Each structure stands twice: as structure tokens, then as C-alpha cells.
Amino acid sequence: MRTPKLTPLAATLPATVPFVGPEAQERQRSRPFQARLGANESSFGPAPKAIAAMQAAASETWMYADPESHELRHAIANHHQVAPENIMIGEGIDALLGLAVRLYIGAGDPVVTSAGAYPTFNYHVAGFGGAIHSVPYKDDHEDPDALIDTAHTVGAKMIYIANPDNPMGSWHHGDVINRMIAGLPDGCMLVLDEAYIELAPADTAPAIDITTTNVMRMRTFSKAHGMAGARVGYVIGATETISAFNKVRNHFGMSRISQAGALAALEDPDWLADIRQKVEAARERIGAIARRHNLAPLPSATNFVTIDCGADGAFAREVLDQLIARDVFVRMPFVAPQNRCIRVSCGTTEQLDVFEAAFGPALSAAREKLG
């Protein structure tokens, strides 16, 4: 029996994923990590009210979830003071990025992003045959002016920028993003990834304007709300932009448990305020650990801190490997010169104790190995 052939596009793609998960690394190592500080999860966990809501919803999992996510969509709309028609719920920002690319990008369509920015976006663009045009970071920030200039040059149909940024933790003032929006070429959609926005300074996010049809803003319950495993993200946008998602989305992709948890999390602002304080304290501690070893922590508006290891990518990779050998899971940027750094997620006191104990020996071992 002959096996059917892959499509020509699929046949050209590598069978890889943007990130190797910590579980896969644990299987390779045959032992667990003591400190899971690489995936920018919130080890502080969801709000107790969200946990209780998810537990209560577990008995209802024999039913499919509401395909319109009606209650959650209305609650998010009320939170942002927009109409429900301006909100689309999806299985995390990763899935929503795939839908956005599917809606606007076909074979050969030009797309602009930053070299070394969130790789899952590039994964989706490649999967639909788009042509990626990347620009370098500027002073460890994504460069809005260069992104816009390149978009005009190549006739881009889409631009991606994360604010605050992953993997560097840097951010731009909302006025900078507004100028970027004003400079968009005709026929170009801006995908503004705001996954970390609840942890950033108040002036980071520009005011929401749902009359702007060439901007979609993506947010998540994975970071500040501590629900990465529940997979709940959403898009804020103009009515026609949001409506288009109904053409391609998985209408039964959301679980009842996830919807219940996100709704309860949204209704618990006190927990979110406490998480902000915990993240700030963890950022300060990670920075202090770095400085004690004469290394520079980069300013962060996220739930991680990027540490400049003071050399090149090879040295940072060795530091990362030495930390992994000491049961500390961290990650690093992929592209030079940002790959001179490692990235450490904000964790609990116990996790940061493990990191602190391992960091000095990991640096020493890296220096000894590489001379």
C-alpha cells in the first residue's frame, strides 16, 4: 500500500518544535529538575478561587464547553470596556497566532518580525508558506522603527512585536506602539503580543482602540494569572477582525475547566496584585544574584530576568548547560548578540534558593571548560 504524500509545503518543513519542553529534557536526563525556571510559567500558581472553580467544573467535563465562550468573553469585554464582539477566546496565544497567520498569510506573503523574537510566530508563518523578513534588536529592545521601515520596503502583510518582549524582558512606552500603529503600511496587520502586560509599568500598553482594523492585541492567562497549563488566550480587536477568526478557529477547542478557571481568575484582582508583588520581589532577587557574580541583569517588565553572561553565545550556552546539569531548568535567546544571555523565570523562594546555589558553580565550571 502506497503512503499518501505530504503537501509540497509540509515536505519542506523540519519536524521540530520551537521549544524543547522541560519534561522532554527530564526524560533525557533520567531525573527531574529541582528548579523549573525556563518556561516563564508562574510557579506561584493560579488564584485559589480559580482552582476551586476548575475543581467544580471537573464534574462537568462530560459536556463540551460553550463554543462561544460566552460568559468568559463577556467578562473579558467588560474588563476592557469593549463589546463582546471585540474579543476572541482561544487555546493560548500560540494557537491564536496560528489562526491569525492562517487568516492573512499565504504562500510567499511577506511577514516582518525581529530576529530572535518569539519563535512560535515564525513557526506558524513557515507552516503557511509566508516569507519572513527579520530585523535586529536595538539595545536589547525590539526596534519598532526598523520593523515599520522593513514592512514598507517588502510590502509586508503582517508585523509581529511583543511588548513587553520575550526573550529580553524589555519594553516600550505605549506612545511608541501608537507611533508604530500610525506608521503601518496599507494592507498590513500588526500582531501585538501583550502576554506579559499585567506585569509591566502602567504606561506600557496604549489605550485600546477597537476602531483600528489593522491591529490585533493578544493576551493570556498563562503568565500573571498562573494558568499556563489551562491554555486560555484572547484577542482584542475590531469587530470585523475578530469575526474573521470564526472562519478558521476550532470552535470546540476550549475546555469547560479552562473557561471556568479564567473567569474566576479575572474576578480576583487582589490575587493578581499579590502576584505582581511576588514577581517584582523575584526579579529583584534574580538581579541581585547576577550582580553578586559581577554580571548584569537586564531591566524587565515580565516574569523573568535576562542575565548578560558577559561573553558570547557559546559561553552563555555552557552556563545554561551547567545549570541544567545541576538540575536548574533555564533557557536563553537564540540569536546573537542576545544569545550572550540566559533567561531565568521568576520563581518561588525555594526555586530561587536552588538557582542561587547552582549559579556560582555553573559559572565557574563554564569558565574552566571554555578557558
pLDDT tens by residue, 179-224: 999 999 999 999 999 999 999 999 999 999 999 999 999 999 999 9
- Which is it for the CA torsion 7, 8, 12, 18, positive or negative? negative
Residue 95's identity, in one-letter code, is: A
CA-wise closest residue to 285 among 350, 225, 224, 361: 350
- Reading the block at residue 290, the C-alpha cell is 547576577
Cα–Cα distance measured from residue 190 to residue 177, given in angstroms and rounded to the nearest whole number: 10
DSSP state of 129: T
- For position 308, what pLDDT does the model report? 98
- pLDDT at res. 123: 96
Single pTM value for the model: 0.96
Fill in the amino acid letter for 242.
I
Residue 69 CA from chain centroid, whole number: 22
Instruction: Note the Cα 332 to chain centre separation in Å.
Output: 14
Low-confidence ranges of the chain (pLDDT < 50): none
20-45+270-370 and 49-267 share one fold? no
Structural domain spans, the chain: 20-45+270-370, 49-267
> Which fold would CATH assign to domain 49-267?
Aspartate Aminotransferase; domain 2 (3.40.640)
188 contacts 156 by C-beta, under 8 angstroms: yes
- The answer for residues whose C-beta is within 8 angstroms of residue 115's C-beta and 6 or more apart is 134, 135, 136, 137, 335
C-alpha cell at 278: 511576588
**Architecture of domain 20-45+270-370 in CATH?**
Alpha-Beta Complex (3.90)
pLDDT at 18: 83
